[in-house]
Amino acid sequence: MCFMQKAQLILASASPRREELLSLAGISFRVLPSEVNEGMVGDESPEEHGLRLSEEKAASVAGMYPDAWVLGADTVVIIDGEVLGKPTRREEARVMMHKLSGRTHRVITGFTLLKATTKARVRRAVTSAVTFREMTAEEMEWYIETEEPYDKAGGYAVQGRAALFIRAISGSHTNVIGLPICEVVEALREVGAMDFGAEDGHVGRSG
């Protein structure tokens, strides 16, 4: 037995990490990245921010493919109430490492699953807590000299070299990578886009 997808799924994201997570789960999908302004709006909370952006990303693609389920997601890293974005320079990455070292921070991924023809949608925000051990100055400098911090929220990749510094994760591990797969599959089943126990399955990435 395996699972069957009952509808096309589009990932409205250019994140290679989200693509990899869906592929590893055996989910068939195609990628159509959306472009939205990712800045904060007003006094929205990190959860509200992630949910709003995920819905905007999904909606921007759903209008072009009204019969497909579209998945949008946005991941936010927060410590001391501050949102840590994606560093573009070494100094920005260094500042983030100092803030994360020896501390616990939150990672929130908001995701939206919607289909334009039915106007149905599922929106959820999933939170994980990540604890870094104390990092030495030499370790920080070594890490920011790699290419890893510079396209990641919070300036690190839990599935990469940053694993050397992460002591504990409370909550979804895949959420920290960029997509809470367990909750996404629950949402797909909830809307009837996926089912288990079928005689034949539709797996792998398409498009």
| pLDDT at res. 120 | 84
Closest by CA to 107, choosing from 168, 172, 45, 63, is: 172
Give mean pLDDT in consecutive 10-residue pieces for the chain, a chain of 207 residues.
Answer: 70 92 92 80 86 94 92 95 92 97 97 91 96 97 95 93 97 96 94 72 45
Instruction: For the chain, give every domain's residue range.
Output: 2-198
Task: Enter the tokens of residue 188.
Answer: 């797909």
* In the block, residue with structure tokens 């909550």: 171
| pLDDT at res. 5 | 65
| pLDDT at res. 35 | 79
| pLDDT at res. 201 | 45
**Do the beta carbons of residue 103 and residue 84 sit within 8 Å?**
no
| pLDDT at res. 177 | 95
Q: Provide the terminal-to-terminal Cα distance of the chain, rounded to the nearest Å.
A: 25
| pLDDT at res. 206 | 44
Q: What's the rounded Cα separation, in Å, for the pair 133 and 194?
A: 39
To the query of whether residue 200 is one of the catalytic residues in this protein, the response is no
The CATH number that domain 2-198 falls under is: 3.90.950.10
- Active-site residue identified among 43, 67, 74, 195: 74
Q: Give the contacts of 37 (CB within 8 A, at least 6 positions apart).
A: none
